[in-house]
């Protein structure tokens, strides 16, 4: 919701953060009215903050509408050119700014919905080991790791 790669993202196609919040609450309300929430976990899952991304607090539907928060953040490795340029980043470096921003407006359980690491520019096995150490240090409640083949 805070990126520009989906047509429904904030600040894309005229969408506003208020539109996203209203849509989230609308769907949540339908589940509540239909008594369909018994096996549902409401996870609000922004992408890690990056230059040009939408601020997170205006996109937050509120604690009453969320059970947990999951951040998406990938270490794409050293890629100085191409469609996406990036530098090798450790797990904590990737997520700390977003954790700090989210921590300013909620204390709901935090985890990582999507993460993975390239092997280009560093040691992926060492990165994964560091990811678990960092997750424990930050008291994250879950991690969903994608094995990207680069």
Domains of the chain: 41-145 (3.20.20.80)
pTM recorded for the entire structure: 0.90
Q: Which helix (H) or strand (E) holds 92?
A: helix 91-103
pLDDT average per 10 residues of sequence, the chain (150 residues):
91 95 97 92 95 94 98 90 78 95 97 94 95 95 86
CA-to-CA separations, 65 to 26, 32, 40, 55, 62, in angstroms, rounded:
10, 10, 12, 19, 6
Using alpha carbons only, give the angle 81, 100, 84 rounded to the nearest 5 degrees.
10
Q: Are residues 113 and 68 in contact, defined by beta-carbon separation less than 8 angstroms?
A: no
């Amino acid at each position: 919701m805070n990126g520009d790669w989906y047509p429904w993202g904030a600040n894309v196609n005229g969408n506003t953060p208020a539109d996203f919040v209203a849509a989230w609450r609308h769907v949540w309300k339908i589940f509540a009215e239909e008594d369909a929430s018994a096996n549902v976990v409401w996870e609000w899952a922004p992408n890690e903050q990056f230059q040009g991304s939408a601020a997170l607090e205006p996109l937050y539907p509120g604690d009453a509408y969320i059970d947990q928060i999951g951040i998406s953040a990938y270490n794409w490795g050293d890629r100085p050119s191409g469609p996406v340029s990036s530098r090798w980043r450790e797990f904590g470096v990737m997520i700390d700014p977003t954790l700090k921003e989210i921590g300013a407006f909620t204390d709901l359980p935090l985890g990582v919905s999507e993460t993975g690491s390239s092997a280009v520019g560093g040691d992926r096995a060492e990165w994964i080991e560091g990811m678990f150490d960092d997750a424990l240090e930050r008291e994250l409640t879950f991690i969903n790791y994608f094995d990207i083949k680069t």
